[in-house]
Amino acid sequence: MLRIDDRITIEDWELTEQFTRASGPGGQNVNKVSTAVELRFEAERSPNLPDPVKRRLKRLAGRRWTNDGAVIIFVQDTRHQPRNREIARERLAELIAKATEVPKRRVPTKPTKGSVRRRLEAKKQRGEVKALRKAP
C-alpha cells in the first residue's frame, strides 16, 4: 500500500511492476540481471482518486499517461532492483501529491491609469524622435 496523504492511499493491486535489463554501467552484471523497473498505475480506474485529481494527474503526467488511462514510470537510476522500485514508488507518490494541490485561480489585473499614461507619453515621444529623422 502506497500512502499519499490522509485521504488518498494506493492499493497494491492498482500497481504492477515489470523488470527489464537496464542500460548503462554495470559490467558483466548488466547483461544478466533485470534491474530497471517499469511501474504501472491504473489511474483512470482507481477508486481512491477523486475526478479532479485524476484530471490534474493526467495533465502533469504528460507522456507518461497512456491511452488506456495508466501512468507509467520507468526507473533505471541504480544497479539495484529494490532501490529502483523505491525510487519509482517515490516518484509516483510525488506526482499524485502534486496533483492533489488545487491551483490558485488567476485574478486578472488592470494596468493603473498612471502606467497607461506613461506608456502613451513614451510612445508619443518615440514617434516624435522618428518623425524628426525624416527629410523635410
Mind listing the domains of the chain with CATH numbers? 2-100 (3.30.160.20)
Buried b (16+ CB within 10 A) or exposed e, 3-31: ebeeebebeeebbeeeeeebeeebeeeee
- What are 71-104's pLDDT values in tens digits? 999 998 888 889 999 999 999 999 999 998 888 9
Task: Give 128's pLDDT tier (boundaries 50, 70, 90).
Answer: very high
Q: What's the predicted TM-score (pTM) here?
A: 0.72
User: In this predicted structure, what is the pLDDT of residue 26?
Assistant: 67
- What are 49-77's pLDDT values in tens digits? 889 989 999 999 889 999 988 999 999 88
CA 24 – CA 74 distance, rounded (Å): 14
Residue with more model confidence, 121 or 32: 121
Task: Say if residue 28's pLDDT is above 80.
Answer: no
